[in-house]
Every structure is written in C-alpha cells, then in structure tokens.
C-alpha cells in the first residue's frame, strides 16, 4: 500500500513538472521567420462599433506589449500627428491603402491592423462587457500576412475578475495579459489599466516570435510567467473559491485557432456608385428646357414653311441680282 502511495506521488509530481510547457497555441511562423521584421507600425483600428473614440485609447496601450516583445514601435502621438497632416488619419481610409505604401511613408517593416468587431456593454450600473476583435500583422516588403488572430473576451471589471479566475484554471497563459490590457483600454477601466501596465509582465504576452531587441527563446510565450500567475492568484481568490465550489458558471476565453485568415485588403467597398444618385443630374433637366425655350425664342419669326426671314431676304436679293445680270447681258 505504501509503495502504491509513493508511486502515485511520483506520477503526480511528474505530471506537475510538465505544467510549464503547453502546446495549446501553435502558429506557423515560417513567413515571419523569413521576413524578420524589426519595426512595427500600429494602425488605428477599424471600428465597427458606435464608439468613435475607441481607437485613440487602443493606440495608447498597444505599444507596450509589442515593445516588450522586442520590436521597435513607432511613437503613437507622432504617427497620429503625421497621419493627420497627410490626411490619412481615418482608419477606413488607412485600410484601403496598400500595405507596401507604409514602407515608403514610415520605413516600417510590418503593419499591425486591428479590427474591433464588437463591444457589448451592459446598462449603466452593471459590470462586465463582451469584446471581440481581430489582429493581423502584414509585411510591408512582400505585402503578405505574417500573423493573425481573433479574440473574443468576456470582461468583468470590479473587485472580482471573472476572466482571470477562469484562465487560471482552464486556458493557456499566452496572450491573456495582452487581451486583458486591450480590453481594459477599450472598456476604459482606468484603474485596472494602470495596474496592468505598471505591474504586469508583457514579455510573453504577444504570441509572436521575439523581435531584435529581445534575445529570448522564440517559444517562450508558451510558458507561464510567475509574476502574472501570482498577480492573478492574489486578485481572484474569491472567484477561485466560487469556481472550486461550482457556484457559478463562467465562460472562458474562446480563442479561435487555425482560422483561415481573411486579410483586410480583400474587403471591398460594396457601395453604390456615387454618380448614380447624383443630385446634379436632376438639376440638368430644367436647364435643358430653358435651352429649348431660348432656341424657340430665336426662331419665333419662322414662317409656316419653316423658313426664317433672313433666308427669305437673301433669296429675294439673289433673285434681283440674277434679273439685273440678265438685263445687262441683253443690252
């Protein structure tokens, strides 16, 4: 019996020792390895929600995880100013611009496009929100997609962090801090945002290979940073107890894996041709009728035969001339 117990402990410990690594998130980085981008330009996100100020808040926070991953991120405020000067600050307009053009404008190696698809906020006085957004990294050299991911996120502000507790048990650690950072920026949960930026570790959050300023193991992002773990362990004690007792049903993050990437470039504007409903066309019709009237006014003196007075005079003059010529010849 004792031997059996020991063996069980052995197996349990071996199983625990393997908890550091996980193969939950796998992505094909062959194109990324070929390109080896050094600098990333973050474009203002395409916003399919009604909140128009979202992209500024997004831009304020997103450079942190990318820089911590070891890339050069273009300064957000400078870029914003420059784009406004160039008249390309509108995210919809930026989406139409060829990706390769950003090499000429900024000398950026890669461009990060974000598409905020959905944000559902409950009524005032209630906590929580649902956020869905996708991110795609394009190379400005080849114009190809380097990395793509879609996130759906149940955000719960306040003293208890539902998602935190959830992920502590069920989901992979990679990219969760990033997702939470973006989510807190989008929901404008400022205290939480401050806490994350100052206390969180973003080294392993962005599920990308590390950049030139970070010489770490490329697969490091699969591991769980200890600081992050302890942070959530502190925050979600209450929630954890609830989960263990099975009081509450909570929905974990759903990360869509191996989704066939849909590049932003392929989206076409399927609007009506602006010329088809041109109001100027309606104005042309009265203009034409006026024209006709003018022509009519000029030809008012026409005879019933359709001959104008001037023509008749000319004809009479010609006839007189001919008669005179004949008289001269007869003499």
Partner 1 sequence: MTFLIRKKSGKILAIAALCLSLVACGGRDFKPSYQWSQYPGQYYFYLEDEGEKTVEERATELLKVTQKLIEAGEKEQKVPPGLYAEHAFLLMQTHQYEDSQSFYEKEVKAWPESRYFIEKMIAELQKKRGL
**Interface residues toward partner 1, by CB under 8 A:** 2-4, 6-7, 9-11, 13-14, 16-20, 38-39, 53, 56-57, 60-61, 63-64, 67-68, 71-79, 81-82, 85, 106-107, 109, 185, 190, 193-194, 197-198, 200-204, 213-214, 223-228
Yes or no: say if 223 and 21 are a contact pair by the CB < 8 Å rule.
Answer: yes
Q: Are 147 and 176 in contact (CB under 8 A)?
A: no
Q: Are strands 46-47 and 129-139 parallel, antiparallel or unpaired?
A: unpaired
Q: Residue 134: beta bridge partners?
A: 115, 150
Find out whether 263 and 188 touch, Cβ atoms under 8 Å: no
Is the Cβ of residue 6 or residue 33 nearer to partner 1 in the bound state?
Answer: 6
The residues, any chain, with a CB within 8 Å of residue 317's CB and separated by 6 or more, are: none
Selection from 79, 251, 89 nearest residue 165 by Cα: 251
Q: Which is nearer to partner 1, 150 or 167 (CB)?
A: 167
Beta carbon nearer to partner 1, 44 or 148: 44
Q: Tokens 């399927």, residue?
A: 270
* Residue 197 Cβ vs partner 1, minimum distance, rounded to whole Å: 5
Question: H or E element: which one contains 181?
Answer: helix 176-187
**Nearest distance in Å: CB 154, partner 1:** 23
CA distances from 21 to 24, 220, 221, 225, 262 (A): 9, 9, 10, 11, 30
Residue 293 CB, shortest distance to partner 1, in Å, is 53
Minimum Å gap between C-beta 66 and partner 1 is: 9
Q: Cα 300–305–306 angle (5° rounding)?
A: 40
Closest to partner 1 by CB, 17 vs 323, is: 17
**How many Å is the Cα radius of gyration of the chain?**
36
Q: Residue 63 or residue 236: which is nearer to partner 1 going by CB?
A: 63
Tally of CB atoms within 10 A around 129:
18
Q: Which long-range contacts (CB under 8 A, 24 or more apart) does 242-248 make?
A: 242/165, 243/165, 243/166, 243/169
Least distance (Å) from partner 1 to the CB of residue 140? 12
Whichever of 97 and 197 has its CB closer to partner 1, that residue is 197
- Distance from C-alpha of 255 to C-alpha of 278, rounded to nearest angstrom: 46
Q: CA-CA distance, 184 to 197, in Å (whole number)?
A: 11
- Minimum CB separation from partner 1 for residue 283, in Å? 38
CB of 225 to partner 1, least distance (A): 4
Residue 108 or 148: the one with the smaller Cβ distance to partner 1 is 108
Token digits for 68? 């911590």
User: Rounded CA gap, 113 and 105, in Å?
Assistant: 16
* For partner 1, the closer CB: 172 or 242: 172
Please, which residue, 3 or 285, has the CB nearer to partner 1? Answer: 3
User: Measured from the CB of residue 62, what is the shortest distance to partner 1 in angstroms?
Assistant: 9
State the minimum distance, in angstroms, from the CB of residue 199 to partner 1.
9
């Amino acid at each position: 019996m004792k031997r059996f117990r020991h063996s069980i402990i052995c197996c349990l410990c071996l199983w625990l020792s393997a908890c550091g690594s996980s193969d939950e998130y796998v992505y094909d980085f062959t194109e990324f390895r070929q390109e080896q981008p050094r600098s990333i330009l973050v474009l203002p996100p395409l916003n399919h929600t009604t909140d128009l100020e979202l992209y500024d808040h997004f831009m304020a926070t997103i450079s942190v995880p990318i820089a911590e991953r070891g890339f050069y991120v273009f300064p957000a405020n400078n870029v914003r100013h420059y784009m406004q000067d160039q008249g390309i600050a509108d995210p919809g307009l930026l989406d139409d611009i060829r990706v390769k053009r950003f090499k000429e404008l900024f000398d950026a190696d890669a461009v990060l496009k974000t598409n905020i698809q959905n944000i559902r906020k409950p009524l005032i006085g209630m906590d929580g929100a649902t956020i869905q957004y996708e991110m795609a990294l394009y190379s400005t050299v080849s114009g190809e997609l380097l990395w793509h991911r879609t996130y759906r996120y149940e955000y719960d502000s306040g003293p208890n962090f539902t998602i935190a507790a959830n992920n502590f048990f069920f989901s992979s650690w990679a990219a969760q801090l990033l997702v939470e950072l973006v989510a807190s920026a989008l929901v404008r949960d400022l205290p939480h945002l401050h806490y994350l930026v100052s206390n969180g570790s973003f080294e392993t959050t962005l599920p990308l290979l590390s950049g030139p300023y970070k010489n770490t193991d490329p697969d490091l992002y699969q591991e769980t940073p200890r600081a992050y773990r302890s942070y959530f362990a502190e925050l979600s004690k209450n929630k954890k107890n609830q989960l263990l007792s099975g009081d509450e049903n909570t929905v974990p993050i759903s990360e869509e894996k191996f989704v066939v990437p849909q590049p932003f470039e392929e989206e076409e504007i399927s609007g009506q041709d602006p010329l088809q409903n041109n109001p100027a066309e309606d104005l042309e019709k009265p203009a034409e009728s006026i024209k006709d009237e003018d022509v009519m006014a000029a030809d008012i003196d026409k005879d019933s035969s359709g001959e104008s007075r001037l023509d008749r005079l000319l004809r009479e003059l010609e006839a007189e001339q001919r008669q005179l010529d004949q008289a001269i010849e007869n003499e």
